Structure 1
């Protein structure tokens, strides 16, 4: 109930037509599925809408593609239609589905034609299927239409049959998650007749279509694909409903991602295989030094392929290494992969030399895993070859050249030393190889290592071979020595560079893992929700090396963004316009990602991600994208993992707080129950006594002596005062429990406070010796005098009740640093150690002292503790030497300043 009330007041500022986001049941999706345009999908959808309307359901036409089909348009009569939204795109007025108007109208059933349609720029979502998903989340049932060529995983297959590439596509997950799919099917011959008669397109368009896409062979093939896809969906749903294990439950398919033009086809093929085998699906990207160089069209293709794999349901994973085959095989081995899908290499090599392909290497490294090679229909392209790659690692640096010269000079000096000692030339060669290794470790890239290798050979020849100080080699064995020395130097340099690069990659992975582990520990240590999300934002900022916006959600108000680091707060918060705030509110409401780099509200400057718990959105994080590079796949995976951990931590904290609130409410209810039970039992005795004595006194026929009458008056007074004190305690307890007790703190003289309290203590105080002893008559303390008087009365009355007649009760006060210690001592029989532990608990009575017809409820001392705690003091009890007990409590001291005139 608490969460529901919180969520009801979250409003997306940018979308005024939307109502508050309350908890509605998820809407159902019905898809009218066909194999080509003109089979009658829209017609069947409108007929179904009329049937639903006749059954009393609220049906509204949100958008219908108005083709020149009279039979279809005639079915619009009698159905309510929403006006289209007009979007100005490059001077052209486009008609689009009005999502905000549909949400405001909120019918039972909404008709939205052409599910795969791409919305014009300026609409909230890039694709219409995202509009439909938002309708479903709002609790609206949707009827829609789609053709088989618009399914993402079948796009390449359809294109290979029809030779037509379809640009408007939807993820297969949208189709598979539909509650109902109705296949609208007619014979290809009948569809051709409809085309020829002008019922689908105009005559000129129909003739062109029949010559290309709508040939009989194409239509038959598309129809077969549509029938199989529908049958596969039914089979899978039957298995889910029957809770049966899939026949290939142990299968796990791995697809390799790359920037190749044909990689999209490989990904779609792997997705279809995963669908057919009902298996796990992972997309692996191996980041090498070459992939870091990607830019322009290649980089765009790589990101598009990653996004495609994610849409098709793959789990994106990134590994590092310069040997893709080794990395893929190792990942497949440790992850339980059973099938690997790769594309065929389709590029020319240098000088016509054929290198071993990735599939060949995988076949040797992973010989127990099935490898599927997808042919590439793309034209051959030339792969650029460069001895030295133009990445950051290989950039020429003068400092590296200086290091190389110093190291080689040092090796030469050592060589002169060895030569003067008469050592063999092999030792000098070893020194030069060691210098090459040291150069490879101390410099960047391969260039300096190669230079060091060449210089080592030349210097060894010039200084240490006969004839010396000449590049001529007299011994015929020297050229072989030089060649082996050069090869050994270059190989040593290459291996050292590779080890250094792998160490750097390992340190990077270790940094990410350490960041994740530290983030988890830090978020667990957060004192509250705000500190937890702040710690998570700081970790994301470290990961991405950019400032981060963050805000908590679910508190019943607008998102209040903050920024980290604090130095960037002014700049980031200043960019949070009403439009940006609206995007963030939409993310919090719909539990989706939106903003820059997504297909929803992509015009935003920032990327907004929901911090998700298992039940609701716990917060929103904003990542600036305008002046920063796009997120890498591995960075995104680490960030999502970190945000998921943050969401779970926040949810656990919120659920724990709710549990504590429930427990506190239960405790209060138990307290009320105990209080009522105790009152109902213990009030009976004094009330019976009062009413009985009063009845006797009012009865004129009964003659009473004056002493008996006075005794009855005293009994009535004692019982009445007991009830007054009990009522005062109950009222104070009620105020404390409800949190309505407000202290009115003032400085008071303790002497006056003691006198006021003693004036209202039990009448039996005359039977005891009560005295006041103050170390300073002007001693003052800060207090709510009304409540402190009640504390003193309760403690003194307890002393009167539980000590014998004639005992001494002493009130005293003294300064202790910046506090005043007030003590109330007696010389009664004392209190046991066990009773001291529970003496200030509610409803606890020690069961000691003289017998009394009125049993205490155990409220007085518990109330005293609550009052003293509210004043910031302490209360306790200790033994009085030699006999009795001392109750003490402390209050803040008020210094008295005396002025003399």
Structure 2
């Protein structure tokens, strides 16, 4: 009985570690013959003298066949379960990766990679370009494998799938003589790519095909979502541009009328009454014309800068610059006869920052102009620069009336002026600080507004610092 049990155990092991039923059947027959040859009388022969042994052999053979068959079935079920779990894992992984894809190229790349991992077959992407299927990246887990997708008939099948939006190639009704299967990827009914899968002489299982279809479906859905997101973003950008244009037109037509009227009136007065005016009146008229024109030039420059940034982004010409040089350049834009007292504290002369000097000069000029505009004559404006860790902090402070919380929260928004009154009576368009924020953010820094102590406000912006090397 122990010997028979050992033989049946051998049948189980044979069925588990071999493929198909043939080896199990052969082992069962061989085990019966070996038992007869070695363990029944007469020994070392295949003769059987007792009828009871024939019954034993029959039961032994049947038990061995049944146990081997059951073991083989269990093994096949386990293998199919493992394959099913792996395929499901690939599908879920594809879904998660597609949700994180950045653009259409990433979406197609993830799809092709997951299909290659699922099937272990060669895969190729074909993208749409001017109505043609353009071969893209070739995916293969066999480094010596030739790319059969470049054959003429395969290229024709890929083009057919792209043009007609139907599955084409091996096993289909469309150009079935080729060796590959071509699945179109549709977004909103438009074919935006084709996934080619090498089939050859190894057709896909129905479950594999269904999983591939699911992955391609997820790819198409991700493509649609991406295109919808791009369209929504473009629509939002167009809406912002439209609002910007409307605000500019409304603000310009309303708020630039005063300085233009002043310039026109002073010019007309000079032309009509020049001979009757004394020298002081003439100089005052010229000064008024000059100041109004300078203010208009500043406003127009800010308008052009803001609209250019909003529409086309900002192009930086970065270099390592001395902060002192940039501050001095900004101060040179202001008249020495200015009624405000401007002081500096630059913490040494070798503070350097990575910047576009032309744009940073514009930031400092706008902040100084803001301080002059909103503080009474004789006010103090202080420029300070210092290094903290790897950033340069530049601040412009004044001792004016300061700002309220509502203004501080919205100070850097375009066209926001709050309830602050301009010292010279003109109205600000609210573009200067918005432009400052755009420039500083483009440099990788940030700009803030805080109340100064005991009065006034402080604008502070940061720039990446750069090292100074002195060679002796």
TM-score higher than 0.5: yes
Please name the residue that 1:621 is paired with. 195
Matched, 1:553 2:128: yes
For residues 342 and 152 of structure 2, the distance between their equivalents in structure 1, rounded to whole angstroms, comes to 72
Query: Once the 2 structures are TM-superposed, how far is the Cα of residue 863 of structure 1 from its aligned partner?
Result: 0.8
For residues 218 and 273 of structure 2, the distance between their equivalents in structure 1, rounded to whole angstroms, comes to 83
Alignment of 1:281-292 (within 5 A): none
Please name the residue that 2:316 is paired with. 743
For residues 578 and 873 of structure 1, the distance between their equivalents in structure 2, rounded to whole angstroms, comes to 55
Please name the residue that 2:100 is paired with. 525
Matched, 1:779 2:354: no
For residues 634 and 602 of structure 1, the distance between their equivalents in structure 2, rounded to whole angstroms, comes to 21
Please name the residue that 1:515 is paired with. 90
Query: Once the 2 structures are TM-superposed, how far is the Cα of residue 660 of structure 1 from its aligned partner?
Result: 1.2
For residues 879 and 481 of structure 1, the distance between their equivalents in structure 2, rounded to whole angstroms, comes to 103
Aligned length: 471
Please name the residue that 2:399 is paired with. 827
For residues 490 and 603 of structure 1, the distance between their equivalents in structure 2, rounded to whole angstroms, comes to 43
Query: Once the 2 structures are TM-superposed, how far is the Cα of residue 449 of structure 1 from its aligned partner?
Result: 4.3
Matched, 1:728 2:301: yes
Query: Once the 2 structures are TM-superposed, how far is the Cα of residue 764 of structure 1 from its aligned partner?
Result: 10
Please name the residue that 1:536 is paired with. 111
For residues 446 and 616 of structure 1, the distance between their equivalents in structure 2, rounded to whole angstroms, comes to 50
**In 2 relative to 1, CA 728–560 (structure 1 residues): closer, same or farther, beyond 3 Å?**
farther
Please name the residue that 1:647 is paired with. 220
Please name the residue that 2:232 is paired with. 659
For residues 773 and 466 of structure 1, the distance between their equivalents in structure 2, rounded to whole angstroms, comes to 115
TM-score, normalisation: structure 2: 0.83
Please name the residue that 2:370 is paired with. 798
Secondary structure of 1:841's counterpart equals coil
Instruction: Tell whether the 8 Å contact from 1:821 to 1:889 is kept in structure 2 after alignment.
Output: yes
For residues 828 and 567 of structure 1, the distance between their equivalents in structure 2, rounded to whole angstroms, comes to 74
Instruction: Tell whether the 8 Å contact from 2:353 to 2:392 is kept in structure 1 after alignment.
Output: yes
Match of 1:564 among 111, 121, 139: 139
Matched, 1:495 2:67: no
**In 2 relative to 1, CA 560–460 (structure 1 residues): closer, same or farther, beyond 3 Å?**
closer
For 1:78-109, what per-residue CA distance to the aligned partner results, in whole angstroms no more than 9, with x for missing partners? xxxxxxxxxxxxxxxxxxxxxxxxxxxxxxxx
Please, which runs of 5 or more residues in structure 2 have no aligned partner?
none
Matched, 1:674 2:271: no
Matched, 1:810 2:385: no
Please, which runs of 5 or more residues in structure 1 have no aligned partner?
1-407, 413-428
TM-score, normalisation: structure 1: 0.46
For residues 592 and 840 of structure 1, the distance between their equivalents in structure 2, rounded to whole angstroms, comes to 53
Query: Once the 2 structures are TM-superposed, how far is the Cα of residue 630 of structure 1 from its aligned partner?
Result: 3.9
For residues 440 and 50 of structure 2, the distance between their equivalents in structure 1, rounded to whole angstroms, comes to 103
Matched, 1:591 2:165: yes
For residues 594 and 479 of structure 1, the distance between their equivalents in structure 2, rounded to whole angstroms, comes to 61
**In 2 relative to 1, CA 860–436 (structure 1 residues): closer, same or farther, beyond 3 Å?**
same
Please name the residue that 1:868 is paired with. 440
Alignment of 1:695-714 (within 5 A): 695-700=268-273, 711-714=284-287
Task: Give the RMSD, CA atoms, in angstroms.
Answer: 4.0
Alignment of 1:393-404 (within 5 A): none
For residues 749 and 723 of structure 1, the distance between their equivalents in structure 2, rounded to whole angstroms, comes to 30
For 1:146-168, what per-residue CA distance to the aligned partner results, in whole angstroms no more than 9, with x for missing partners? xxxxxxxxxxxxxxxxxxxxxxx
Please name the residue that 2:425 is paired with. 853
For residues 869 and 691 of structure 1, the distance between their equivalents in structure 2, rounded to whole angstroms, comes to 39
Match of 1:636 among 205, 209, 215: 209
Instruction: Tell whether the 8 Å contact from 1:587 to 1:609 is kept in structure 2 after alignment.
Output: yes
For residues 557 and 470 of structure 1, the distance between their equivalents in structure 2, rounded to whole angstroms, comes to 77
